[in-house]
Chain A
Amino acid sequence: MRLLTHNMLASNVRGATTGYPLTLEATKWCTKEVELNADFIRGLLPKIDWRALVDATRALGLPELLPEEQPPEEEIFAEGAADVEGSAIRRIHHALLEVHVQEGSLVCPDTSRCFPINKGIPNMMLHEDEV
Chain B
Amino acid sequence: MKLKQLEGLLGGLTQFPNPKVELEQYPTGPHIASRMLYTAENSFDDITGKVVADFGCGCGTLAVGSALLEAEHVLGIDIDPQSLELAQENAADLELDIDLVWSDIKNLNLKVSQSIPQHLLLNRKQFSAGVHVDTVVMNPPFGTRRNGADMEFLSMGLKVASQAVYSLHKTSTREHIKKMALRGCNARSAEVLCELRYGLPQTYKFHKKKEVDIAVDLWRFVPKAQQ
Contact = CB atoms under 8 A, between A and B. Distances in A.
Interface string B82-105: 001100100000000101111110
Q: Is the interface of B mostly helix, strand, loop or mixed?
A: loop
Contact of B104 (A8, A70, A125): A125
A92 B41 CA distance: 26
Given A1-B99, A123-B102, A19 B132 contact: no
Interface of B: 49, 51, 72-73, 75, 79, 81, 84-85, 88, 97, 99-104, 107-111, 115, 124-125, 127-133
B111 A9 contact: yes
A7 B102 CA distance: 16
A77 interface: no
A46 B124 contact: yes
Interface in A78-130: 97, 100, 119-126
B111 A10 contact: yes
A59 to B, nearest CB: 17
A20 interface: yes
A5 B99 CA distance: 7
A57 B71 CA distance: 24
Interface residues on A, range: 35 or more
A30 B12 CA distance: 28
Nearest to B124: A46
Given A8-B132, A11-B109, A34-B97, A119 B115 contact: no
A20 B117 CA distance: 14
B115 A125 contact: no
Interface string A39-68: 110001011111000000000000000000
Interface of A: 1-2, 4-5, 7-12, 18-20, 32, 34, 37, 39-40, 44, 46-50, 70, 97, 100, 119-126, 131
Contacts of B104: 125-126
B133 A70 contact: no
A49 B103 contact: no
A120 B100 CA distance: 8
Contacts of A2: 73, 97, 99
A91 B47 CA distance: 25
Nearest to A49: B128
Contacts of B111: 7-10, 20, 49
A70 B128 CA distance: 11
Q: What are the 8 tightest A-B residue pairs by CB atom distance, in nearest-first order?
A: A47-B130, A12-B109, A124-B103, A10-B109, A8-B132, A5-B99, A123-B102, A40-B72
Contacts of B49: 37, 39-40
Contacts of B101: 1, 5, 9, 121-122, 124
A9 B110 contact: yes
A35 B125 CA distance: 27
Contact of A37 (B72, B85, B100): B72
Given A9-B110, A119-B88, A126-B107, A47 B132 contact: yes
Contacts of A34: 97
A2 B72 CA distance: 12
B103 A125 contact: yes
